[in-house]
Amino acid sequence: MADEAAVKVAGKYDARVAHVETIGTLFNNKQDVGAGSGLLIGETLIVTNNHVLPEANNYKRLDIFIRLKSRLNNPQTATVLARDPQRDLALLELSTPVLDAGGKHCPMPIVSNPSQAPMGTTVLVLGFPLNQDLSLSGGLISNHGSPPKEIRWQTDTVMNPGNSGGPAFEDHGFLLGIASGGIVQWTIGGETRNVNGVNYFIPVSELVASPLYQHIDKIPQEKRCWRASQEDLVVDASTSIAVGDAGSSKAPLGPTKLERSYTVSETKDDHPVALASHSRNYQSRFLAEPGYKIVACTPKAESANHANDITCNIDSGGGSAVFAYRLESGPAIDRWRGWWAGYVTLRQERIAGDGAQ
């Protein structure tokens, strides 16, 4: 049986998903060919990942071709308008406007507040994996990143090379962000392990905070399609989207209770004492979601060695929690290491009067 929400989201936005092909002609006339995905915003702008687009100065000539909805469609040429390497985002500009960019494919409202897309929210990613035709994959939000640099949200949604730059939606049709890739191997304690189901997308809030947004903000409102003006950054209960002919559905509201898990990994590699072991204290601070307070903090180790004094203390108002621990490493003549790797789960409750239903 088909997933009704996934079918509606794919049918509504497939015409705005771009296959991004890059052909770089080297100075010896050989060619480098690459491919990724993107999202059409307005009539001429494609948002994608910065890493999808090679640097033009590495080539005698760099051609970029865009095909909307299917990689078998006729291509349009595009040029790089702007890059944001820090956030791994970039904007392409089509040589010819797509004049039917509005209509049934609009509007495209957004969710940028983590409390409105808590852990467990459905994620639907559209893109062109492995240079195949347009594909849809689904999963859940695993977490909203690890402090202090929360610029990527984690998901177990399947992603492969070629998905990079494609849009990620939740099942009401709200844009969550831009797919960016994942982790396939993880090394800890000197051992490398294969990894599955740890993928990431860049949330819409990072796109709006990016210098790229000044170009998007210049698009006339009637041609912009997606709802990304400053007043729309926090989607409220009055915002709705028609995902099909069955009518509209309200923007997702945060639940009364939610949980978020953060990965923590630290290894004490130094050995500052010649003949004795040495200890050092470590800590990570986690903030409550807006409108919530932390009521429980639970650390769970996946792998640990010489890790002691493990605590997780919540401040009096529930606004933050501090996970603290001590690691010990061996003397310089016997260089064993201490480490802690696992995750910390925060259980949170909505603050009374926040307006949730």
- Interval 216-270: pLDDT, tens: 888 877 777 766 433 333 333 333 333 333 333 444 555 788 777 777 889 999 9
Per-residue tokens: 45:
């702008």
Span 263-298, pLDDT tens digits: 788 999 999 999 999 999 999 988 887 778 999 999
The pTM for the full model equals 0.68
Distances (CA, A) of 10 to 17, 81, 127, 154, 186: 10, 27, 10, 21, 33
3-state SS class at 355:
coil
Span 5-16, pLDDT tens digits: 899 999 989 999
Distances (CA, A) of 319 to 42, 214, 263, 297: 39, 33, 19, 12
- Structure confidence at residue 86 (pLDDT): 92
Query: What's the chain's length in residues?
Result: 357
Q: Is the distance from CB of 47 to CB of 90 less than 8 angstroms?
A: yes
* DSSP string covering 16-32: GEEEEEEEEE-TTS-EE
Beta strands in 236-337 (DSSP E): 240-244, 247-250, 257-268, 278-287, 292-305, 307-314, 320-329
- Structure confidence at residue 246 (pLDDT): 34
Place of tokens 């945060």: 254
